[in-house]
Amino acid sequence: MYKSLVLALTLISASLCTATLHAEDNPQVSEPEKEQQPQPSDGDDAPVPDESPEKMSKAQQQNDCLLRSAQTANEQVTLKELRGWCQNGEELPGERTNEDALRARLALENTTRGNPFVITPHRRNYLLPYSYWSNRQWNDPDKDDRDLQPNEVKFQLSLKAPIKENIVDDVTLWMAFTGTFFWQAYNSEISAPFRETNYEPEIFISKPVDWQIGPLDSELLVAGFNHQSNGRDVPVSRSWNRVFMNYVFKTGDYYWSVKPWYRIPEEEKDDPLDTSGDDNPDIEKYMGNFELEVAYPFRNHVLELMVRNNLRSDNKGAGRINYSFPLSKRFKGLVQVFSGYGDSLINYDDYENRFSFGILLTDSL
């Protein structure tokens, strides 16, 4: 009995294997069989670019990323690279030319901004362990400038999150926060204090665009409200409020950002030590009325120049160069050179030169 059962099972297994091999060699399926087979659901797999990410399934988010990336990526990027980029959050390889770097970034942001466990980078996030600055001043009557060291640490954290997506025609309402920190980390004689911290919360709307204005390829429009302060009390309090616009466009391989602003007026102080009123009535004279940036991405490097100016006969402003380059798959290096006014709020009216280098956590392009 036992031997008969084993023999029967052996014959059944052999028959199944033969049927499987035959099916693999002849993949054609009859029409009735096709109708009986489960069909993929359009709702699960089809990209839905008009829906906000939180309303999409994971498969839809990946397909939406693939669709956007296929429309904007350089022709040298392979399908395998795009899949890895959208499915695993991997960066495109270092050989990419970044011809559509901003649209690629916006496509990646779109896949994660509906995730409640993800906060999207806003501006650059970096740590600069070496930062040399000239013309060192506390601008605090209770402190001695001779205590300051020329070498310090500078770092920046900048994040944003959507408040409301697709308000109308792909317009998104954002809130953002940027903190820039100046730390006398090597100054043990005065207990290595944070010399200055600048806080910059914002609320703004953004709309990706694809307009052609002469030689300009329009990419992005932004408008919003910006508050910047150092969070300190008089006499070392510094703050101002602005409404701003930002127009981002391309010419060839170069990205341009034109950002004018209007300062919201504050009441003048009768006494500089009053807690209410304008802490820095002449800040526009030094910080200017607009900011112009031009960036050139190549391979996985980005070279960027920023210029601020007041457009007055008593001309004042600032210039900054950022150069980022790959260190590893995850991190980039950053070299930053600044010259002019307004590197920090406490020193907004002091001309400074600063040279820094360190690690870039998230880039602009």
For the annotated catalytic residues, the residue numbers are 227, 229
Longest dimension (CA), the chain: 110
The first and second tokens of residue 87, run together, are: 């499915």
Opening angle at CA 7, ends 6 and 9, nearest 5: 65
Distances (CA, A) of 65 to 84, 110, 136, 329: 11, 8, 47, 21
Helix extents (H) in the chain: 2-25, 31-36, 42-45, 58-72, 79-88, 101-112, 283-287
CA 305 to chain centre: 17
Is the separation of the CB atoms in 345 and 198 below 8 Å? yes
**How far is the C-alpha of 288 from the C-alpha of 278, rounded, in Å?**
17
What SS3 state is found at 48? Answer: coil
